[in-house]
Amino acid sequence: MTKIVLLDRDTFPEDFKFHHPDFPHEWQEYNATSPEEVVERLSGATIAITNKVKLNAEQLAQLPDLKMIAIAATGFDHIDIAQANSQGITVSNVRGYAVSTVPEHAMMMILALSRSLKGYQTEIAEGRWQRENQFCFFSHPIEDLNNKTLGLIGRGGLGEGLARLAKGFGMNIITAARKNETTPKEGHTPFDEFLASCDIISIHCPLNDQTRNLITTAEFAKMTRKPIVINTARGGIINEEDAITAIDSGAIRALGVDCLSAEPPRDGNPLFKIAHYPNVIITPHVAWASNEAIQSLWNQLINNIEQWQQGSPQNAIEPSA
């Protein structure tokens, strides 16, 4: 019988109700799985379900019975795709499930930071408004989004979703070309020109060798309009120490991130030094996690498994991807 093992059930909300594939199988799940536990837990398994548990070449080589890895996410940088392919293991991910939730989360951050929501809420809780003589008080800047330029790094489904929302606020949208690209594709702005043109920058690209530390002190220095910078993609795309310097020096106006370079940040994170700032918002990697998106993700993941079982794999990732 097909054995299916879910390695990290706790990456879903506690009250989420899973449904299982519609074919005979043995189901086993673990709340979390450490690297040292991967091989033992997947021993004899046909299908592994993982959200963020890493499966490297050494581990996969010890799992001759494994035939499918069903990723409960879009990103697949935690799986050794080449090794899986060499062993005949199908690796499938889920796609398009977050085209509403991530753009809405990014838009929430943009609105909150543009209008200094965090700063005002904090000061009201501290009693500042109550001590004022006038009906309002002005302790933080408030800016409209109308006619501002939003720059997108990554214009796939998530970037396009944010562009659609931003247009409703009257924003102008530009898209970054790849860094150091000499002949940008039509509709893409050369990277350095892009950095200098944006009032707000939102990142929606994957983390890979080309995008790791994509934004460092050198890039912040080119942001002449002192933009709000939003990252709902992956930690590591923005250099976190350099982001602190950019905030403290005024090179950027505000920062909103939903992802850190190491998660969970048990050993801390440089950005926690500025987490209390009124112009900094950090959320715990939940941009993807609306109720609707989680259900859509799981539906697609189970469908990936059922299609593979029927001999028609879908959303399969190739080594060259």
What distance in Å separates the CA atoms of residue 300 and residue 313, rounded to the nearest whole number? Answer: 12
List the catalytic residue out of 41, 234, 240, 253.
234
Sign of torsion over alpha carbons 204, 210, 213, 216: negative
Task: Point out the catalytic residue in the list 37, 181, 241, 263.
Answer: 263
Active site annotation includes 26? no
Sequence letter at residue 32: A
Rounded to whole angstroms, the Cα distance separating 106 from 110 reads 6
Cβ-contact 222, 246 below 8 angstroms = no
- Catalytic, 306? Answer no
Q: Which amino acid is at 287?
A: A
Residue of 41, 204, 253, 285 marked catalytic: 285
Any catalytic annotation for residue 285?
yes
**Token pair belonging to 83:** 């090794």
Non-local (6+) Cβ contacts of 111 within 8 A are: 117, 145
List all residues 6 or more positions away from 47 whose beta carbon is below 8 Å from its beta carbon: 2, 3, 4, 5, 66, 67, 68, 69, 70, 305, 308
| Active site residues per annotation | 234, 263, 285
